[in-house]
Amino acid sequence: MAKARPHSERSSHRRRNLLLAVALLSAALLLPAATASAAVAVAAEGDGENRSRGAATQWATGKDEGELAAEREAVGVGSVVEDDFAGGFGSLDSMLQWAIGNSDPGRLKEEAADVQKLSEDELLKRRHEIKDLMEKLKMPSDADLMKIAIADLNNASISLEDRQRALQELLILVEPIDNANDLDKIGGLVPVIQDLNNANEEIRITSAWILGTASQNNALVQSQILGYGALARLVKMGYSTSAKEAAKAMYAISALIRNNVNGQEAFTSENGNAMLQHILGSNSVDVRLQKKAVFLITDLADFQLNSGSSGLAFLSERVFLKSVTDMLSKFDLDLQEKVLLAIRSLLKLPSTDATDLESCGLDSVLYRLGVQLEELPSEEQKEYAGEVDALRREVEMLFQQKLKRGTATAAL
């Protein structure tokens, strides 16, 4: 799946650091306290969100400022402040410009004029003072923020809303691979996996989403999650009558077992193939979910081909091939294309017997699809239909070749 991940919360996190920087800047320049807080308040309004709780506590759900400060002390200096400070403002001037743009123009311009009278040395000194102040502030690092969210998840008396918010925060925080690698170390995987069993669907969905995001292209996290046995629960979620829940379970499963032999073994022993067949065979299932299932099948078959592994025997079972072949009769060009890709990969597997596909009626299904592609497409679909037809012919050819080879071997 493409990495279309939301960044808005990340940027508002960054924004909060900037707000604090302005407050500090004002303080360092010895502005009246009222001006400093006005600057922050005005900027906060411009952010379109409610910032009245203050910067750091925006992330905390069940804690007050004192607890947070104590935690920051315990953890030590984070690197976030320095990075954001350096990246956000190239110079004291640009920082000041930003402050001016986000606050009461009249008051701050006066102050700015005063600052510009300062000499180079004085400016440099101010700059160091600000840096020291910011270091003393010890903004929470991503690890701190993850710990806060995890503490909330482990708090049984937290409201459903706060639990969902803690999960949403984790979802964003586990995107960077370093954070995903830390998640288990700081005790985050267990509560997230437990929430796959939450009575609330949204909570279950977000938990599956976190597991998928954290384990994507990450062998370490894949094996940690598999080690906790989460796959069994995710396979069950794949049967959900909620298309949203089933789709998120499928996302997490795909991320967990992709390029991972142990994950694929676990998938087999949890009867993941039956879940896939259920999705393919049920008329009430959302077609987008069926596409995801077909995509996963292609991915698994390709992995078998490229790695020379043969751990997924179900891919070549006749009843499974029948489920896939039947999908070609659905009138959805995009789905049909994905199914053709899956069949092409399945055909290439040495374990797949072409006569099984013959008995599934692949021949006649491919023929009917050819007729459909010739007759049905509207003008704007013609080109796409042509591409799908080329793929259909390729599959037909591979199929016939494999059938002939099979017959030749049998005749010997």
Ligand X SMILES: *[C@@H]1O[C@H](CO)[C@@H](O)[C@H](O)[C@H]1NC(C)=O
Q: Which helix (H) or strand (E) holds 406?
A: helix 382-411
Q: Which two tokens stand for residue 366?
A: 């491919």
Q: With respect to ligand X, which residue has the nearer C-beta, 71 or 245?
A: 71
Q: Which of 38, 57, 62, 396 binds ligand X (CB under 6 A)?
A: 62
Using CB under 6 A as the binding rule, whether residue 52 contacts ligand X is answered as yes
In angstroms, rounded to a whole number, what is the distance separating the alpha carbons of residues 205 and 171? 11
Using CB under 6 A as the binding rule, whether residue 54 contacts ligand X is answered as no
Q: Please report how close the Cβ of residue 61 comes to ligand X at its closest, in angstroms.
A: 7
Site for ligand X in 137-176 (CB under 6 A): 151, 155, 157-158
Count the Cβ atoms, other than its own, within 10 Å of residue 279: 23
Task: Note whether 350 and 309 are within 8 A (CB).
Answer: no
Q: With respect to ligand X, which residue has the nearer C-beta, 151 or 211?
A: 151
Using CB under 6 A as the binding rule, whether residue 50 contacts ligand X is answered as yes
Using CB under 6 A as the binding rule, whether residue 409 contacts ligand X is answered as no
Q: With respect to ligand X, which residue has the nearer C-beta, 165 or 330?
A: 165
Q: With respect to ligand X, which residue has the nearer C-beta, 8 or 50?
A: 50
Using CB under 6 A as the binding rule, whether residue 41 contacts ligand X is answered as no
Q: With respect to ligand X, which residue has the nearer C-beta, 158 or 274?
A: 158
Q: How far is CA 364 from CA 124, 322, 343, 367, 368, in A?
A: 80, 13, 14, 5, 6
Q: What is the DSSP letter of 154?
A: T
Q: Which two tokens stand for residue 295?
A: 């995509």
Q: Please report how close the Cβ of residue 37 comes to ligand X at its closest, in angstroms.
A: 16
Q: Please report how close the Cβ of residue 60 comes to ligand X at its closest, in angstroms.
A: 10
Q: Please report how close the Cβ of residue 151 comes to ligand X at its closest, in angstroms.
A: 6
Return the SS3 of 185. coil
In angstroms, rounded to a whole number, what is the distance separating the alpha carbons of residues 14 and 99? 15
Q: Please report how close the Cβ of residue 75 comes to ligand X at its closest, in angstroms.
A: 17
Q: Please report how close the Cβ of residue 154 comes to ligand X at its closest, in angstroms.
A: 8
In angstroms, rounded to a whole number, what is the distance separating the alpha carbons of residues 256 and 244? 18
Using CB under 6 A as the binding rule, whether residue 64 contacts ligand X is answered as no
Q: What is the DSSP string of 276-295?
A: HHHHHH-TTS-HHHHHHHHH
Q: Length of the chain in residues, anyone? A: 412
Q: Please report how close the Cβ of residue 103 comes to ligand X at its closest, in angstroms.
A: 19
Task: Note whether 318 and 363 are within 8 A (CB).
Answer: no
Site for ligand X in 221-260 (CB under 6 A): none
Sites of contact with ligand X (CB under 6 A):
50, 52, 62, 151, 155, 157-158
